[in-house]
Chain A
Amino acid sequence: MRKDIDIFSIVKKLQAIRTLPVILLTITMSLILNSQAFAQDFGDSVFILPRMTVLILLLVFSSAVLLYTKWAKAGKKLFIRKIAGVDAVEDAVGRATEMGKPVLFIPGIADVEDIETIAGIAILGRVARVTAQYETPLLVPVRYPMVLAASQEVVEGAYAEMGKADSYDKDTVRYVAGEQFAFTATVNGMMMRERPAANIYMGGFFAESLLLAETGNAAGAIQIAGTARPEQLPFFVAACDFTLMGEELYAASSYLSKEPLLLGGLKGQDFVKVLIIIAILIGTLLVTFDIGDWYTNLFDVP
């Protein structure tokens, strides 16, 4: 009996083959760069024993993430508590759809190398799926070329996933300006002229946070912000309807998508948080009784 050809497994294999050079290149580059850095700081040594704690923590974290991801893929129900601001994202897109106005999404003003930008782009993917579904116009001004490329990929993918590839406009994601306040001035102008019904700020923001949020507020848009920068959060809290604080930004993408890989990451982080709390309590107790030097030295990594 002829075995049926599984087209999806062939595609997956092809994708794996395509990914292999990237992984190999990453490892090679990392080894070259690391060996140079080690040579500068620690002579010829490649393994730095005093940094063992970092390695252990990394292995624990990675194992927890992988284990939770495996469980999520196996269909095990992983609980995540309600995050108010995240639910508001879909409501805001719905509001824009009803009003026939666009949604403005800013994935921060940091480059792709900033982890907040990656979190912002992940949320952008989810928002783009909803805007594609309801055919709501989406505006994504960006500050860096690499963010432009990554955001375009994500938004295009989201439209294709929703079967609306033809509705995707390449100008949805647009490069605005490299200079921080030139970017801000242009986006402020965009808010006043195009009057988006919902403004979503997710990523790394700096001094422009209040300028953007105040203008959006004046333009009458519902506003949801998320950033991990404590110095900018107060401004978003003051001027936006909902704010995702710190790690809620990173949790938002997994909360929205419920994808096993992202859920695993979030649950893995929670597991490490519990370990950290236990480590702090033990350390505080030992230090209080003056027998904690050996223990605190474990965390004193050069």
Chain B
Amino acid sequence: MESFSFLEHFQIWLKAYLILSLFSFMYKDNKFYKLSEHVFAGLSAGYYVGLIWQTVIIQQLVNPMFDKGEWWLIFPGLLGLLMFARMIPKWSWISRTSLAFYMGSTAGIYLIQTLHGFILPQVLSTMVSLDPSNGFAATLLALIIVIGVISTLIYFYFSKEHTGFMGVTARVGIWFIMISFGAHFGYTVMGRISLLIGRVQFLVYDWGESIRQIF
């Protein structure tokens, strides 16, 4: 491996310090963790101010308005400006206009998106043939899909107590939900372990090499 420059050594040691001090939280809260936590939070706040200024204010508001003449963007711009009214207690109610617009339009957009992109495709995919001539495995899988979706929907039905037929069906639904959770759990844990491996590899190879070169 090539020898590291002074700057590279510094970066590697800083990274290693931050990783180890954050890991130290597994033992207990301590000063090293507190320092890393504050550095992390402060840096992210600063980074996001720069990011939003560049990607939203400049690229999505100022440039389209002045370069492409999209002057209608003045309306979202004004709504954004109204948010600053929060700083003046007497006029802070004005900022609710932007907030109401944002939350209301979001709910409306999501309603259509969910119906169009999620509910209808799910309904369509659940309408499967239960014809036994398709073969035992295909029929069984189709049956599992239909029963799974319907029983899960019944579990999330709030207008009736889960007793009798509803109770039995909801219980089947919760079994399907739990099996799905198990699959998700395993899948996600695998992803997390790969993240841990990445950090351990950094400590062993990069930081280890830096230690070897220095000492």
A45-85: which residues lie under 8 A (CB-CB) from chain B?
A: 51, 53-54, 57-58, 61, 78-83
Whether B7 sits at the interface, judged by CB under 8 Å, is: no
**Known contacts A58-B115, A112-B102: A280-B47 contact under CB 8 Å:** no
Interface pair B123/A279, CB less than 8 Å apart: yes
C-alpha spacing A136/B95, complex, angstroms: 28
Give the distance to chain A from B70, nearest Cβ to Cβ, in Å: 10
User: Is A100 in the interface zone, CB < 8 Å from B?
Assistant: no
Q: B99 CB to closest chain A CB, in angstroms? A: 6
Binds B, one of A21-29, A91-99, A159-167: A21-29
A273 CB-CB contact with B under 8 Å: yes
The interface residues of chain B lying within 8 Å CB-to-CB of A169 are none
B178 to chain A minimum Cβ distance, whole angstroms, is 8
Flag whether A87 is at the interface (Cβ < 8 A).
no
Q: Is A153 an interface residue (CB 8 A)?
A: yes
In the complex, per-residue mask of B83-127: 1 if CB is within 8 Å of any chain A CB, else 0: 100100000000111011111111110111001100110011011
Contacts of B29 in A (CB 8 A): 189, 192-193
A280 touches B126 (CB 8 A): yes
Q: Label chain B's interface by main secondary structure.
A: helix
Binds A, one of B150-158, B196-204, B207-215: B150-158
A185→B158 contact, CB < 8 A: no
* Proximity bits, B176-207, A CB within 8 Å = 1, else 0: 01001110110110001000000000000000
B81 within 8 A of A: no
Name the segment of A101-109, A124-132, A171-179 touching the other chain.
Answer: A171-179
Given A57-B120, A234-B185, answer yes or no on A26-B101 (Cβ-Cβ < 8 Å): yes
Q: How far apart are the CA atoms of A230 and B187 in the complex, in Å?
A: 12
Count residues on chain A whose CB falls below 8 Å from chain B CBs: 84
Q: Is the CB of B48 within 8 A of A179?
A: yes
Indicate whether A177 sits within 8 Å of B40 (C-beta atoms), given known contacts A234-B188, A280-B149.
yes
Question: Are A185 and B37 CB-contacts (below 8 A) given A81-B162, A280-B123?
Answer: yes
Asked if A284 and B119 sit within 8 Å, CB to CB, the answer is no
Could you count the A-B residue pairs with CB atoms below 8 Å apart for me: how many are there? Answer: 197
The secondary-structure label for the interface of chain A is helix
- Tell which of A78, A175, A287, A300 has the most Cβ of chain B within 10 Å: A287
Chain B hits for A248, CB < 8 A:
156
Q: Which residues of A contact B157 (CB under 8 A)?
A: 270, 273-274
CB neighbours of A255 from chain B (8 A): 158
Select B101's contact among A25, A118, A292, beta carbons within 8 Å.
A25
Chain B residues at the A interface, C-beta cutoff of 8 Å: 22, 25, 28-29, 33-34, 36-37, 40-41, 43-45, 47-48, 72, 75-76, 79, 83, 86, 95-97, 99-108, 110-112, 115-116, 119-120, 123-124, 126-131, 146, 149-150, 153-154, 156-162, 177, 180-182, 184-185, 187-188, 192
Spell out A's residues near B (CB within 8 Å).
18-19, 21-22, 25-26, 28-30, 32, 51, 53-54, 57-58, 61, 78-83, 112-115, 118, 145-146, 149-150, 153, 175-179, 181-183, 185-186, 188-189, 192-193, 207, 230-235, 237-238, 245-248, 251, 255, 266-267, 270, 273-274, 276-277, 279-281, 283-284, 286-290, 292, 295-296, 299-301
Partner of A149 from the list B99, B153, B159 (CB cut-off 8 Å) is B99
Hey, which chain A residues are within 8 Å of B115, CB to CB? 54, 57-58, 61
Contacts of B45 in A (CB 8 A): 175, 177-178
CB neighbours of B103 from chain A (8 A): 112, 118, 150
Once A283-B127, A299-B127 are accepted as A-B contacts, the answer to whether A188 and B181 lie under 8 Å apart by CB is no
CB distance A112 to B106 under 8 Å? yes
4 nearest A-B pairs in the assembled complex, by CB-CB distance = A179-B44, A283-B127, A178-B48, A234-B185
Closest to A156 in B: B92
Most chain B beta carbons < 10 A, residue from A53, A176, A186, A193: A186
**Which B-chain residue is minimally distant from A297 (CB atoms)?**
B124
- Cα–Cα, bound, A277→B127 (Å): 11
Known: A186-B37, A231-B187. A290 touches B153 (CB 8 A): no
Complex CA distance for A9 and B33, rounded to whole angstroms: 56
Task: Tell me the smallest distance from the CB of A260 to a CB of chain B, in Å.
Answer: 15
